Amino acid sequence: MAPQQKGFSWSNIAVGATMNMFEVSTLGQPLEVIKTTMASNRKASMAEALKTVWSRGGVLGFYQGLIPWAWIEASTKGGVLIFTSAEIEKVASRNGFGAGASGLLGGMGGGIAQAYATMGFCTCMKTAEITRHKQAASGIKPPGTFTVFMDIYRREGIKGINKGVNAVAVRQCTNWGSRMGFARLAETPVRAMSGKTEAEKLSGAERILCSSIGGALGCWNQPIEVIRVEMQSMAKAEPGSNRPTNLTIGNTLSASIRAGQRAPH
């Protein structure tokens, strides 16, 4: 008789939500703000982006979009990601897939699930919250966050609130697939260096090392993040930028490449 399979790990939802709430409330949101600022203004250096964010309110400028959008996103996407990826990885392992392939499939599935379930409208509103402050440079007082939300909803409905969700899904699919896949593959050399067998558990430090390797190698898809920010940005197109009116992943990619070719080196 085959051993009884364990049921769903519901605790993964709570673990994922707690983990992401802690991450976004500490360094996660400041890094997101800096990244979004640089992605929406690709001529800016890191120092210029830091100066721009600081000018929006000092330390608080680095937490634009934290409340409520980043908190809503973090408390939901973490649970969806960890739960979905763990279940997919479990099924893949049972069907003979290796650790790397199981991690890859789990990460891809979890990333797609969190994008369409929770992240679409949250990333749209977070990006709007960050990029709308560009209006202040021209002397126009930026509208409040819920004013922005309702304005988008009245003009474009649910589709407008979820603007760029397909780019988010591509980003999260490749992001978490790469992270988890590379992290699982990294376990083999880490075990070899520590002299551990497959049956032995890795220590906390060793697991952090594997996750760090996976995260670093997963950065290959940063161009997709630039496309996502551009699609969700509230910033107006600069004269002569040829920014498409109705943005898709394809035409946003083409416009971004043309903008990069015109930028001074």
Look at the block and give the residue holding tokens 């797609």: 112
Q: Which amino acid is at 179?
A: R
- pLDDT value, residue 68: 78
Look at the block and give the residue holding tokens 């083999």: 188
Task: List pLDDT tens digits, range 129-166.
Answer: 666 655 555 566 666 767 777 887 888 787 777 777 88
Q: For the chain, what is the largest distance between any 2 Cα atoms, rounded to a whole number of angstroms?
A: 74
Neighbours of 156 (CB within 10 A): 12
Q: Which amino acid is at 78?
A: G
The DSSP code sequence of 141-159 is PPPPHHHHHHHHHHHHHHH
Q: What is the CATH number of domain 66-236+243-256?
A: 1.50.40.10
CA distances from 194 to 91, 169, 203, 212 (A): 29, 37, 10, 17
How much is the pTM? 0.67
**Residue ranges of the domains in the chain?**
66-236+243-256
**Contact partners, residue 21, CB within 8 Å, separation at least 6:** 71, 74, 75, 78
Q: Which residue stretches of the chain have pLDDT < 50?
A: 1-5, 265
- pLDDT value, residue 213: 93
Residue 63 contacts residue 29 (beta carbons within 8 Å): yes
Residue 50 contacts residue 36 (beta carbons within 8 Å): no
- pLDDT value, residue 92: 92
- pLDDT value, residue 109: 93
Task: List pLDDT tens digits, range 163-172.
Answer: 778 888 888 8
